[in-house]
Structures are given as structure tokens and as C-alpha cells.
Structure 1
Amino acid sequence: MRHHKYQWLISGLIILVSFTIGIAVYNTYSPMSMSGLSSTIIKDRYREWKRAYLKGNSNQKFVKVNNGKNNQTLSEAQGYGMIISVMAARQGFGSKKTFDQLTDYYLKHQISKRNPLMEWRQQQKGNYMVSIKSEKTSATDGDLDIAYALILADEKWGSKGDVKYNQLANNLLAAIQKREINQKTFLPKVGDWATASKTENIVRPSDLITAYFRKFASYTRDVRWTKVAENSQTVLKQLSSQHSTGLIADFVTVSGEKLQTTDVKSKQVASIHDNQYGFNACRIPWRVAYDYQLKHSQVSKKIVEKMLTFFVDQKDIMAVYTLNGKAVENYSNKAFSTPVAYASHVVLNTTLKNRYTKDLTSKISGNDYYPETIQMATLLASGDIGK
């Protein structure tokens, strides 16, 4: 009789305990708690970054890339700025006004009325930002970020206002597909200028942003983007398998329908680090982890985890490595450490998360555009987990 009298109480306690444990487990592993980063810190860093690097006037804004008096910017920087501003808006502290100012600058610096790709560089001449003839070509990485940012803006604010984000995105994506996608390999070229036999098969692996290509496919309903996504992931997987470190070079060549990869030589494309894990490739952990964050691709996860396993064994993350894992430089740089920190938040690598979250959250000095802008982009991506 006593057992039956208190059975309801015991059952209730069991339910309560189970519910409490369930909540604890959810809070531990739910997407919203994966980053564990304070929204206040992210907001503060955004304000610092914006104050340091956004220049221009009330109508147009650009991201300054140099420390000199005469401003310079790149399409790469404009893409980062647009991604950063729209992600900040998604998290409640960025504004549509800022994004539209950045968009207006992009529109004023398209290659031509018929070619909406962005001129790859502008420099200040008097009161104007201008491109000389050799700068009126494109850099694919910048155009990809701009297109993706426009899609996010359409999703955030719609396209019924003065700025038709959907039209701009679709026009830009059509131009990227026509001018910056290799029609044999269905991989991104390094720019619209890469048309000769010596350049058309050069690939910047950090441009193999599978998450973007998946989004482009669903947004445009153009199956060619699905092919770009599939081939990009295939090549990343191949490159990851070539070295025990999982490190991938700044540039490679990829040719034919079988996607045959070939190493480039030092100084073949841009710098002495072309065939090393350098200042282009350092973005790969961020770009690939972002695909896992959004789509839970197990291929992307394995590529990232292999690279992170290498970095766990490094006392510090240095700037530039050979693909076999030898540090080329004797200094660290947040362009290398913050993508690793972000990736560690995504795939839950506690060791690297504990070591390098401080780099993600450190104050923006305003003296070094590239690492601090990558820091800002990856910090916002971390804060965007679960959104």
C-alpha cells in the first residue's frame, strides 16, 4: 500500500529529473550554444572593426586595406565588408544602411554596365576611388562573397525596397557562372582574366566554398551550381588526402573532367608561397567548416578535423607552412589562427577552442586589415551558429 501511495511522487521525480537532464544536454550540444561567445563581445568587436576600416561617405562605404593616407581597397575587402555587415544585422546589431552603403560602392565599381563583376582594386585619387586599366578585371573570391552577402540581405530584408538584392544577386551570379567558372572542370577560376591555357586551370582552393555553391544552386535553381559544389568538395577531399597534415596550398591547377590536380611552383601565380599553406589557404578551415556548420557535410567535417589535428600538435599557429607541416615564418598571425579557432567551435575541438578563442575575441587595433577582417568574419560566423 505504501509503495502505491507514493508511486505518483516517485514517477513525477523521475520525469522531472529526466526533463532537467534533457535540457542540460540540449544546452550543451544545441547549435546556439556551440560557440559559447558573448554577443556583447561580438558587438563590441564589430563596432571597433567598423570604426577602423569602413571609409567613404554617407552614400558609399568601402573597406580600407592600407595604413596610408591615400585609401586603397579591393573587391576581396568589399566582399568581406558586405558579409560582415549582413551577418552583424542577422545578429541584431548591424544595419541595413551600412550594408546598402557597401552595396552602392560595389555598384559604382562594377567592371561595366554589362559586366557586374567588381573591379579588383581601387585607389584614392583626390576625392575619388578609381581603378586603372589593369585593375578593371575581377578576383573571384571577392565576387563570391558579394553574391552570397546579397542573398543573405534578400533573406534578411527582402527586395521590395530601393535596393533589389535579389536582382543584383542573380545578375552577379550569372556573370560569375559565365566569366569565372571553368566550363570544363566546373570550378572557380582565379578571375575573369584567367583565360589563357597557362591560367585557366589555376584554382585558389580557398575559393572552393561549397556552402556558397549549395546556396547559389537553391537560390537560382541552376543545377550548374550543384556541379560546382560537388566538384569543389571532390577537389578539397583529394587535396586533403595528399599530405598527413591535411594542409592545402594557396594555389593548385585542376584539369579535365577527372579533376586531375597538379602542384604549382613558387611565384607561379602571386607569391613565393603559392605552393604552401599561405595567406590565401589560411582561410580554408573557415570556408570548409562553414559548410559543415550549415549542411553537416561529413566530407567537410573530415577535411577540417584532419587540419585541426595537425594544429593541435603545434605549440603555436605560425604564419605559412609547407604542406608537410614545417613552419616557414617565425611569427603568428590572426589570419591563420582565427579560422582555426572558428573551425574548432564548429566541430567542437575543445583543445583548439580553448587555445585560440582569445584570438577571435581580441580587440581590433585598426592597424592590420587582412587578419583583423578575417577575425571579424570568423567571429561573426561563430556567433551565427544556429541562426
Structure 2
Amino acid sequence: MKRHKYQWMISGLIILVALAIGIAIYNTYSPRSTSSVSTAVVKDHYKIWKKAYLRGNKQQEFVKTNNKNSKDQTLSEAQGYGMLITVMAAQQDFGSQKTFNQLTRYYVRHQISSDNPLMAWRQNHKGIAMTSTKEEKTSATDGDLDIAYALILADERWGSKGEIKYNRLAKKLLTTIKKKEINPTTKLPKVGDWATGPKSATVVRTSDLMTAYFRKFASYTNDGSWTKVAQNSQIVLKRLSDQQETGLMADFVTVTGSKLKTGKIGAKEVASEHDNQYGFNACRVPWRVAYDYQIYHSQSSKQIARKMCRFFADQKQITAIYKLNGDPVGDYTNAAFTTPVAYAAQVVANPELKVRYTKVLTGKMSTKDYYPATIQMATLLASSSIGK
């Protein structure tokens, strides 16, 4: 039977209305990455963090890593965090270029040498200055990666026509990272420039597999070798995630050969008795992979973060340090473990964890424990930028 033209029009309108309703329902009930963190809360925390941990003078500042009442000490890891936090705060209009420049001058002052822009991994207050011993004038890759990434963000935020040429510093540092801190066979980050032996050069700190950073380095420098670093890091993260039902991975692993064969590290082989557990290094992995999904929409990173979130959603509370099978080692909580998971839950839209742990992410910040406070600050900043 031939249908009247108006019947066709009415049918078309019905289809369009139904489609619009469907889209509205999907947008209402489907998981989406939305932040539960307000900029005002983050700004208040940033003020507290700065007062508690930034030290120095009008020219240079560093992030104090030891107890409030003891002589000042800092690490390249901390300087990287400080520079990252400051420029991310500036992206939200409350971090200052002045503070970032003070932190940058300190980094430049404590490069290993005039020919080696990697930062010496530790300095202590001696006399009137912060100094490194000969043994401390080696690098820790995680600090250098954060410093390089922060310099790129600074260049994008403020440009490099002022006193400090962020672009030059970033590119010089990246050239040296590639030469001294990337394994030439696996194309993965080593733990530091000192890791040159046949065994030490294969050791990988899982939280150094910062795929979002490597993607940024590739586009910023037009150097495709960083894309390979990103790809291989993604492969290893996925393999480690697949090895455990929990999705947890150890602080350190070994990776060998061009086929990226993963191996285990024993306790106390690198840094602590928890080297082969989900400890104070690997606790940063949920943050790093969730950030890659937030910035670059990597589906592999999303799957890794979601698997970890599913495990933690089944726990009554998130405690510090786990065996890879999910058995807790400690019976205490620590923001270094809770806030990366809380941030990941925001990014991959795990509603149960968002409800339970947003208050932890935005909760009171320690003023006497640098590491958890600083990770909380970094993940807060990343969380408040979701969807912006």
C-alpha cells in the first residue's frame, strides 16, 4: 500500500525523537569521565602543600622530602613532582610562573654536570647550601621524566621567550634521557643512568612506564623513537596487568630482549623488601595509566586502570602494600596508595570507588609526610582537570 508523504514525514519525526531520547538516556546513565573535585578545593590544598614542602629563597626553591624538624633534604623525584604540580596549578590559574622558575633554577643548579642535564638524585643541607655527594651525582629516571614533562607544559603555558628557555632545557634533557636512561634494546626506561650492567640495565620501575609522557615527548620533539618507547611501555604494562587477576604489578620487574620478555625481581634486589610487591613505587601506576587515558584516550590504559579499580572496589579499604595476588601486606592506609586509585576511578568512571574515595582525594593533607601528600596533590590537580 502506498503511504502518504505526510505519513513518511511523521515516521521520520518519530525516529528522530526516539533517537534523541536514546542519546539523552545514554548520556544520563552511561559511565562518563567527570570530576567530582572542585577547583576551589584543589587551590586550598595547593596553598597547604606549598607552605609545608617548598623551601629555598627568591632565586631557587626545592621540595623538602624529610621530616619537618630535621635538616633539609630533597630528591630529583621530588623536584619533578614540584615542577609538575606548579605548572598544572598554573593551568588552572593559581600556580605562578615565578614559583615554577624558582624550582627550575634549582633543577639547573643540581644537574649532574654542565654536560649532563640529568638531575643528581639527592641533595642534603650542608652549611648554607644544598649539596650532593659524589655517589649522589647519578640519576633517578622518574624524576627526570617529570622534570622534562613539566618543562614542556611550561613552554606550552608561557612560551620560552623569557629568562628561562623551557624549550631548550626540555629538549636537551630529553636528548640525554634517551641516551642514558632508555635501554637501547627494549626501548624502555632504565631506573637511572647508573644502570649499565647486563642485569641492572634490564630492571624496570613499573611506575616509570609513563606512556602519556612518551607520547608527548614524541610530538614535542618530532622524534619517532619516543613513540616506540610509548608502544613498548604499553605492551609491558598490559602483559603485567594480564598476569594477575588483581591487575596489580610489582614495584620492579625485569624486561629483556626485543620481544620484551618480562621477569621477576626478588625482595631487596633494588630498593626494599617490597621490590616484588605492589609497594610505594607501583602505587603510582593507577595514576600514570589513568592519566594516559585522560589525555590520549588509550583504550589499553583504560583497561589496565579499570582492572585495578575493580580489584580495589572489592576491598573494604585500600591499605599500603599488597602481594600481587591481592593479599594485603600492611594494615594501615596511606594517601600514596589511596589517591592514585581515587583519581583513576574518576577517570574511568568507577562509580563505587568515586563515591567511597573522592573524600580521601579531597581530604586533609599531611604536612609532615612529603610522599603521600605530594602524590595527593598531583592526583588532585589531574582530577580537577577532567573534562576541561
> What TM-score do the two structures reach when normalised by structure 1?
0.93
CA–CA distance in structure 2, aligned partners of residues 22 and 322 of structure 1? 43
Counterpart code for 2:159: G
Partner of 1:227: 228
Is the contact made by 2:339 and 2:361 (CA closer than 8 Å) also made in structure 1?
Answer: yes
List aligned pairs for 1:282-301, cutoff 5 A.
282-301=283-302
Partner of 2:5: none
Deviation string, structure 1 residues 158-209 (Cα, Å, up to 9, x no partner): 0111110000000000000000000000000000000011200000010000
Aligned residue for 2:36, secondary structure, equals coil
Deviation string, structure 1 residues 211-265 (Cα, Å, up to 9, x no partner): 0000000000111100000000000000001111000000000000000000000
Residue 164 to residue 351, structure 1, CA distance change in 2 (3 Å): same
Partner of 1:5: none
CA–CA distance in structure 2, aligned partners of residues 104 and 24 of structure 1? 50
Partner of 2:55: 55
Aligned residue for 1:247, secondary structure, equals coil
Partner of 2:269: 268
Partner of 1:196: 197
Aligned residue for 2:201, secondary structure, equals coil
Partner of 1:310: 311
CA–CA distance in structure 2, aligned partners of residues 201 and 123 of structure 1? 30
CA–CA distance in structure 1, aligned partners of residues 296 and 25 of structure 2? 24
Aligned residue for 1:129, secondary structure, equals strand
Partner of 1:280: 281
Partner of 1:38: 38
List aligned pairs for 1:15-164, cutoff 5 A.
25=27, 34-67=34-67, 68-164=69-165
Aligned residues: 375
Identity of aligned residues (%): 65
Is the contact made by 1:84 and 1:377 (CA closer than 8 Å) also made in structure 2?
Answer: yes
CA–CA distance in structure 2, aligned partners of residues 150 and 29 of structure 1? 34
Partner of 2:10: none
Is the contact made by 2:203 and 2:254 (CA closer than 8 Å) also made in structure 1?
Answer: yes
CA RMSD in angstroms comes to: 2.2
Residue 304 to residue 24, structure 1, CA distance change in 2 (3 Å): closer
Query: Could you list the runs of 4 or more consecutive aligned residues of structure 1 that deviate by over 3 angstroms after TM superposition?
Result: 21-31
Partner of 2:368: 367
List aligned pairs for 1:344-355, cutoff 5 A.
344-355=345-356
Residue 26 to residue 103, structure 1, CA distance change in 2 (3 Å): farther
Residue 382 to residue 196, structure 1, CA distance change in 2 (3 Å): same
Partner of 2:358: 357
Deviation string, structure 1 residues 326-355 (Cα, Å, up to 9, x no partner): 000111110000000000000000111111
Aligned residue for 2:215, secondary structure, equals helix
Deviation of 1:365 after TM superposition, in Å, equals 2.9
Deviation of 1:69 after TM superposition, in Å, equals 2.6
Counterpart code for 1:180: E
CA–CA distance in structure 2, aligned partners of residues 265 and 251 of structure 1? 9
Deviation of 1:26 after TM superposition, in Å, equals 8.6
Deviation of 1:22 after TM superposition, in Å, equals 5.8
CA–CA distance in structure 2, aligned partners of residues 58 and 29 of structure 1? 46
Aligned residue for 1:173, secondary structure, equals helix
Counterpart code for 1:52: A
Deviation of 1:302 after TM superposition, in Å, equals 0.6
Deviation of 1:386 after TM superposition, in Å, equals 3.0
CA–CA distance in structure 1, aligned partners of residues 251 and 337 of structure 2? 13
Structure 2: give runs of 5+ residues left out of the alignment: 1-12
Is the contact made by 1:48 and 1:363 (CA closer than 8 Å) also made in structure 2?
Answer: no
CA–CA distance in structure 2, aligned partners of residues 29 and 307 of structure 1? 17
Deviation string, structure 1 residues 118-139 (Cα, Å, up to 9, x no partner): 0000000021000001100000
Partner of 2:338: 337
Counterpart code for 1:87: M
Counterpart code for 1:251: F
CA–CA distance in structure 1, aligned partners of residues 331 and 29 of structure 2? 40
Deviation of 1:361 after TM superposition, in Å, equals 0.7
Is the contact made by 2:36 and 2:358 (CA closer than 8 Å) also made in structure 1?
Answer: no
> What TM-score do the two structures reach when normalised by structure 2?
0.93
Is the contact made by 2:265 and 2:275 (CA closer than 8 Å) also made in structure 1?
Answer: yes
CA–CA distance in structure 2, aligned partners of residues 156 and 360 of structure 1? 26
CA–CA distance in structure 2, aligned partners of residues 105 and 27 of structure 1? 48
Aligned residue for 2:111, secondary structure, equals coil
Deviation of 1:25 after TM superposition, in Å, equals 4.3
Counterpart code for 2:130: M
Question: Does residue 242 of structure 2 align to residue 238 of structure 1?
Answer: no
Question: Does residue 320 of structure 2 align to residue 319 of structure 1?
Answer: yes
Deviation of 1:359 after TM superposition, in Å, equals 1.4
Counterpart code for 1:169: A
Counterpart code for 1:86: V
Is the contact made by 2:267 and 2:273 (CA closer than 8 Å) also made in structure 1?
Answer: yes
CA–CA distance in structure 2, aligned partners of residues 311 and 117 of structure 1? 36
Aligned residue for 1:315, secondary structure, equals coil
Is the contact made by 1:265 and 1:274 (CA closer than 8 Å) also made in structure 2?
Answer: yes
Counterpart code for 2:87: V
Choose 77-86 or 377-386, whichever is displaced more. 377-386
Is the contact made by 2:279 and 2:321 (CA closer than 8 Å) also made in structure 1?
Answer: yes
CA–CA distance in structure 2, aligned partners of residues 356 and 65 of structure 1? 26
CA–CA distance in structure 1, aligned partners of residues 256 and 166 of structure 2? 34
CA–CA distance in structure 2, aligned partners of residues 71 and 101 of structure 1? 17
